[in-house]
Structure 1
Amino acid sequence: MDKAGLLQPWHALSRWLLPLRCLLCGAPGEQGVDLCAACATELPRNRSCCARCALPLPAPAALCGECQRHAPPWQAAWAPFRYGWPLDRLESRFKFGGDLAAGRTLAMLWRREPMPLPKPDLLLPVPLHRARLRQRGYNQALELARPMARHCGLPLRHDALLRRRGTAAQTELDAVGRRRNVRGAFVVRAGVALPAHVAIVDDVMTTGATLAECARVLKRAGVARVDVWALARAPSPRG
């Protein structure tokens, strides 16, 4: 059964029935989220990063070395958090453990971050293949994109960008393997008219291979500007 949209309907009721409780340490939650002040302070913000791919950098720079050598197919990226403790624990529970409370907390944290990019005309979550969707029960990118779309006052389409074939899990592959794995995996639904500026939404950006393939498909479909929105950006595997 598809659990799409489950992060929101029971939110008000759960807040009335249950007090806020930190999902990491069990202490009372604060500021309207299921995190205590101490754990919330540890969240790794991605303040110093590449303007093009959001790669965390030790010092502010316009572009990282990789983007200077090979510009990605998107215009700009926004990833307000780095993929590290304790956000990575919440993300893993949400993505692989079916923990919708963790997903709701992540979505709320994202909404509170200032958006540094121009607003797109449309949000498109990275799609799951139907087999993976049946297995997991929901698309974590879509569940994060829904509240972001409401918060920003933007339209959202989950049916415009499709994953036409299943792929192996990206987590076990290196950068080259990730690019090969997703090559030709996405397609724009026939008959869909896309606006000039769209943003692709995902939970975590690692090498960017999946997002790059989505961006190429959208560019070929006539989209003039593609941005990337991801909750978190993984650091360089080279450290």
Structure 2
Amino acid sequence: MVNNWLKIIQRNLIPPRCVLCGDTGFADLDLCAGCLGDLPRNLCCCYRCGEPFASELALPSLCGRCLKRSPQFDETYAPYLYRYQMPYLIGQLKFGRDYKNARLLAMLLGEHIAAGAELPELLLPMPLHPKRYRERGFNQSIEIARHLARRFDIPLDFYSAVRSRDTLHQAGLPAKQRLKNMRGAFRLRKTLQADHVAIVDDVMTTGATVSALAGVLKQAGVGRVDVWVCARA
């Protein structure tokens, strides 16, 4: 109750402003209605990896890549495409330490999750290698996951999964090389007491990184692994 009153007071004294154009925010978002409507939605995609389809399909379907070689995770929730203003919103958080974007991205992702996802028992942010964490000073996936954990009242675990190998940046690698690059990249400090886990990340490209982590979770006895990601490249 107290938190709700604080939010109401804050909203009246400092109303949200659009981080893209500076106009008045819409529905408690730091985006106006126009900029929100301009964000590229991932409306028709592979239900397993979130890859967008070229045309709309009537039923949930798998893409050719998942039919040929299924990833280790079970389902992906990726409400937006990594185009237009999404790289800016994610980049400002990731490299500019604009923490309010973590709240915004979590609210956008949370609306998508609330629309129909089966909630997991545990949220697991994508871990950074300690070297990269020291360089960046924080983990953007943890910041996004904090807001989602509060919204859905789900435990957040940013301790158990460890990125044990400092892999090459995935962005410039072909798909096959991405898979090879991620072998042995993750380990668990302890067994997770959950059968259904959702990995939270900012953006997914081919899914090789999150599939490697999901594989470690599955080997440790987790039955189902979903992926919650803000945008799909």
**TM-score, structure 1 normalization:** 0.86
Q: Is the 8 A contact 1:186 1:214 kept in 2?
A: yes
Q: Is the 8 A contact 1:78 1:115 kept in 2?
A: no
What residue is the counterpart of 2:139 in the other structure? Answer: 139
What residue is the counterpart of 2:220 in the other structure? Answer: 221
Task: Say how many residue pairs are matched.
Answer: 224
User: Could you tell me which of 48, 56, 63 is aligned with 1:59?
Assistant: 56
Does 176-185 or 214-223 show the bigger shift? 176-185
Q: Is the 8 A contact 2:192 2:222 kept in 1?
A: no
Deviations 1:85-126 (A, max 9, x none): 122211111111111122221122222223433221111111
Tell me the secondary structure at the aligned position of residue 187 of structure 1.
Answer: strand
Tell me the secondary structure at the aligned position of residue 203 of structure 2.
Answer: strand
Tell me the secondary structure at the aligned position of residue 131 of structure 2.
Answer: helix
Q: Distance in 2 between matches of 1:12 and 1:157?
A: 30
1:37 aligned onto 2:33 = yes
- Structure 1 residues 192-207: aligned runs within 5 Å: 192-207=191-206
Q: Distance in 1 between matches of 2:150 and 2:16?
A: 23
Q: Is the 8 A contact 1:51 1:76 kept in 2?
A: yes
Amino acid at match of 1:87: M
Deviations 1:173-222 (A, max 9, x none): 221222222210100114x3331111111111110010010011111111
- Kindly report the root-mean-square deviation, in angstroms, between the aligned alpha carbons of the 2 structures: 2.0
Q: Distance in 2 between matches of 1:169 and 1:16?
A: 43
Amino acid at match of 1:176: K
Q: Is the 8 A contact 2:182 2:212 kept in 1?
A: yes
Tell me the secondary structure at the aligned position of residue 97 of structure 1.
Answer: coil
Q: 1:36 to 1:180 in 2, by over 3 A?
A: same
**TM-score, structure 2 normalization:** 0.88
Q: 1:225 to 1:32 in 2, by over 3 A?
A: same
Amino acid at match of 2:147: P
What residue is the counterpart of 2:130 in the other structure? Answer: 130
Deviations 1:53-104 (A, max 9, x none): 1111122251111111111111111111111112221111111111112222
Q: 1:17 to 1:202 in 2, by over 3 A?
A: same
What residue is the counterpart of 2:118 in the other structure? Answer: 118
Amino acid at match of 1:199: A
What residue is the counterpart of 2:101 in the other structure? Answer: 102
Query: How far did residue 13 of structure 1 move?
Result: 8.9
Amino acid at match of 2:100: A
Amino acid at match of 1:201: V
Q: 1:181 to 1:30 in 2, by over 3 A?
A: same
Query: How far did residue 15 of structure 1 move?
Result: 5.1
Q: 1:100 to 1:193 in 2, by over 3 A?
A: closer
Q: Distance in 2 between matches of 1:136 and 1:12?
A: 33
What residue is the counterpart of 1:6 in the other structure? Answer: none
Q: Distance in 1 between matches of 2:116 and 2:46?
A: 13
Residue ranges of structure 2 left out of the alignment (5+ in a row): 1-6
1:24 aligned onto 2:20 = yes
Q: Is the 8 A contact 1:198 1:225 kept in 2?
A: yes
Q: 1:90 to 1:219 in 2, by over 3 A?
A: same
- Structure 1 residues 133-172: aligned runs within 5 Å: 133-172=133-172
Q: 1:228 to 1:115 in 2, by over 3 A?
A: farther
